[in-house]
Amino acid sequence: MDFSTGTPADCASLGISKELFSFVPDLVISGINMGSNCGYHVVYSGTVAGAREAFFNGIPAVSVSYDWVGGKSSVDDYTLAAEACLPIFRAILAEIKNKSYPLNGFLNIDLPTDIANHKGYKLTRQGKSIFKMGWEEVKSEGQGGKMLSTMEMESDSSARAEIDTATVAAGYRMFKRKVIRSVIDDVDTDKRSLQEGYITVTPLGAISPAETDCHSYFKEWLPSAVQQFSSSAL
């Protein structure tokens, strides 16, 4: 495997395949990621995808992310974050040993920036928080700045202030990505609870069903749409 191109999901897949190791792990832990993974960002998080891959294969899994903020966080916070997760990991392993751990979902853990003074563990649900992205043209390659993931952009205050984001070449014109605005849930969800200083524990599944009203709309829409456009095509 080329580790320079492999994704977290690739790593999880290889690790549980018995090609690299002769055994299948009891638990897969993906992370700790630099930056939180909450709300809609869960959809394209590589860290969450690593845990999801194990879940697809019937293996208990947890994804872990630390809400890194530039100027506040340090590498020592990763040690504190890992230690804070140990009670959860031990509890999961005890349930696995007793054959009572559910396999119809996996857990996504996010740890607050001030991990040393966290407010405790809180079971949350995935919210709808997201950072809306846009593009800005730059005049030279040097203006583009270093490559940052969306999660780093979310958690790093200096990245938000300086819009130091990914540069993409399009012909002879250069563009960089920037945060236009953020949308944060104001209810008891993962992102809001994380901002309040809790270690959030969010059960996730493999699919993301549409909202009830959206499903109802398409239930009414589909028969008439097919009939109308099938007739007009004749």
Please check whether the domain covering 1-129+185-234 is classified as CATH 3.40.50.620.
no
pLDDT per 10-residue tile (average), the chain, 234 residues: 76 96 97 95 94 97 97 97 97 96 96 98 92 84 49 44 43 80 82 96 87 87 87 54
Q: Is 129 in contact with 189 (CB distance < 8 Å)?
A: yes
**Where are the domains positioned within the chain?**
1-129+185-234, 130-183
Q: What pTM value is reported for the model?
A: 0.79
